[in-house]
Amino acid sequence: MEEARGEGQENIKNGTIKKLAILTGGGDCPGLNAVIRAAVKTACYRGIEVIGIQDGFRGAVEGDFRTLGLKDVSGILPRGGTILGTTNRDNPFAYPTLVEGTLQIQDRSEEVLGRFKAEGIDALIAIGGDGSLSIALEFAKKGLNVVGVPKTIDNDLMATDLTFGFQTAVATAQDALDRLHTTAESHHRIMILEVMGRYAGWIALYAGVAGGADVILIPEVPYQLESIAKAVKRRADQGKHFSIIVVAEGAKPFGGEMVVERTMQGRTDPIKLGGIGAKLAAELEVLTAMETRVTVLGHLQRGGSPIAVDRVLSTRYGVAAVEAALDKDYGMMVALQGQVIVRVPIEEAVHQLKKVVTDDPVLLAARSMGIELGD
Ligand code: F6P
């Protein structure tokens, strides 16, 4: 792993790069526009043309390109979503294609490579999570010059301390917990907040600590219902007749399974999690005889304006991605390690998720202060 040379400095070699393409793939998250803006500004400053690809890899297959200039990125720093659109379907290596009236799954990757060549694109900046960066890696193996930028509210990408969007999602969940506290206290209820995160518990853990939750349930620590009920009763014995529970969508009981809302074929991950909050509420009402309500925070965690720390991180990632392309350091993903932006092989970031480990400092802090983790 190598430190990024010249993050924000003028010591980068601008070889022969003339044209960069940029796309956003997978689920959206706050900060995508901030990355696009930083990349476009950095490129334009050096006289490099930028091509925006619409709707992730779909646009790469269909040739849905547009030039991105300074005017296009003006005012987008605080905007949620992505001006380029995105999708968590449409993998060019297994692309649904209509052939004589029937839908067939075809490998269209060669077409993408041909189109990039014809357009004179020197390198692609792919902003994505595990799914999109895995596709980017396949293209890198076929010779495409790729630089990755780690995106996802889930913070589950390996090789980086933080993905952008995560801290904004945590802030949104923390705000929800603050609000749930007051109504929980008034009504002497158990309030459950179900948050996103897929198979990792980062959002639940950080939001739970930031929002003063009494119980935090994450996929990495399977729970026992009795432990949660005991914690709620313990609080009642201390005169606190309400409890706040934050549960990650991927949390599961000891020896049990995650709750799947539905499976959707054609997506990079066909499994859509959801419903654990309602399941827990029904079970806890029986065990504790306390009224219980559930809030599923859902896509509120993905929408809206990035908070300041995410704007800064996204900006640093956007700048560093262009600098990596200028250095012709391809097949790499920009990443945050400690306080420093580094470049790591995309291969190190994908195929294996970064999960909360048992000695994670935030998890240990939660345990030390008596927050119930359900185990
Ligand atoms: O990966 C980001 C994420 O928001 C997950 O936390 C969640 O499980 C999933 O995407 C939801 O996907 P969709 O956009 O299909 O609802």
Query: Ligand 1: which residue has its CA nearest to atom 10?
Result: 27
| HEC string for 168-207 | HHHHHHHHHHHHHHHHHHHHCCEEEEEECCCCCCHHHHHH
| Ligand 1: centre distance to CA 143 (Å) | 30
pLDDT score at 16? 79
**Orientation angle between helical segments 308-326 and 166-187, nearest 10 degrees:** 160
Per-residue pLDDT of the chain (375 residues; tens, 9 = 90+): 444 444 554 444 455 799 999 999 999 999 999 999 999 999 999 999 999 999 999 999 999 999 999 999 999 999 999 999 999 888 999 999 999 999 999 999 999 999 999 999 999 999 999 999 999 999 999 999 999 999 999 999 999 999 999 999 999 999 999 999 999 999 999 999 999 999 999 999 999 999 999 999 999 999 999 999 999 999 999 999 999 999 999 999 999 999 999 999 888 889 999 999 999 999 999 999 999 999 999 999 999 999 999 999 999 999 999 999 999 999 999 999 999 999 999 999 998 999 999 999 999 999 999 999 999
DSSP 303: S
| Closest to 68 in 3D by CA, of 44, 50, 47, 86 | 50
What local confidence, expressed as pLDDT, does residue 248 receive?
98
CA-CA distance, 132 to 24, in Å (whole number)? Answer: 8
**C-beta of residue 90 within 8 angstroms of C-beta of residue 61:** yes
Q: Nearest C-alpha to atom 13 of ligand 1 is from which residue? A: 27
Question: Shortest CA distance to 15 belongs to which of 318, 324, 315, 320?
Answer: 324
Please state the atom number of ligand 1 nearest to the C-alpha of residue 196. 6
User: What ligand 1 atom has the least distance to the C-alpha of 267?
Assistant: 15
Cα(198) to ligand 1 centroid in Å equals 7
Number of the ligand 1 atom closest to the C-alpha atom of 156: 1
How many angstroms separate the alpha carbon of residue 46 from the centre of ligand 1?
A: 36
175 is catalytic: no
Nearest CA to ligand 1 atom 2: 27
Per DSSP, the three-state class of 326 is helix
Ligand 1, from 154, 156, 264: best to mutate by most atoms within 8 Å of Cβ? 154
Q: What pLDDT sits at residue 186?
A: 97
Residue 201 to residue 250: CA distance in whole angstroms: 8
Q: Which residue lies with its CA nearest to atom 8 of ligand 1?
A: 198
User: What number does the ligand 1 atom closest to the CA of 198 have?
Assistant: 8
Beta strands at 95-99 and 102-106: parallel, antiparallel or unpaired: antiparallel
Q: What is the pTM of this model?
A: 0.95
For residue 301, which atom of ligand 1 is closest to its CA?
4
For ligand 1, is residue 273 a contact (CB within 6 Å)? yes
pLDDT on residue 6:
47
Torsion sign over Cα 187, 182, 224, 300: positive
**Residue 94 CB-half CA count within 13 A:** 10
The residue assigned the tokens 């897929």 is 198
Phi, psi torsion values for 356, nearest 5 degrees: -75, 125
pLDDT score, position 11: 44
CA distances from 368 to 50, 247, 373 (A): 50, 19, 11
Active-site entry in 154, 156, 214, 329: 154
Distance CA 181, CA 1 (A): 44
pLDDT value of residue 7: 57
Alpha helices in the chain (DSSP H): 32-45, 57-62, 70-73, 109-119, 130-141, 166-187, 202-210, 225-237, 276-288, 308-326, 346-349, 361-368
The predicted pLDDT at position 197 comes to 98
Q: Is the beta carbon of 374 within 6 A of some atom in ligand 1?
A: no
Distance CA 341, CA 247 (A): 31
Does residue 37 have its Cβ closer than 6 Å to ligand 1?
Answer: no
How many angstroms from the chain centroid is the CA of residue 183? 30
With a 6 Å cutoff on the Cβ, whether 196 touches ligand 1 is yes
Residue-wise burial string across 83-92, b where 16 or more C-beta atoms lie within 10 A, e elsewhere: bbbbbbbbbb
Mutate to test the pocket of ligand 1, among 155, 218, 302 (most ligand atoms within 8 A of CB): 302
With a 6 Å cutoff on the Cβ, whether 154 touches ligand 1 is yes
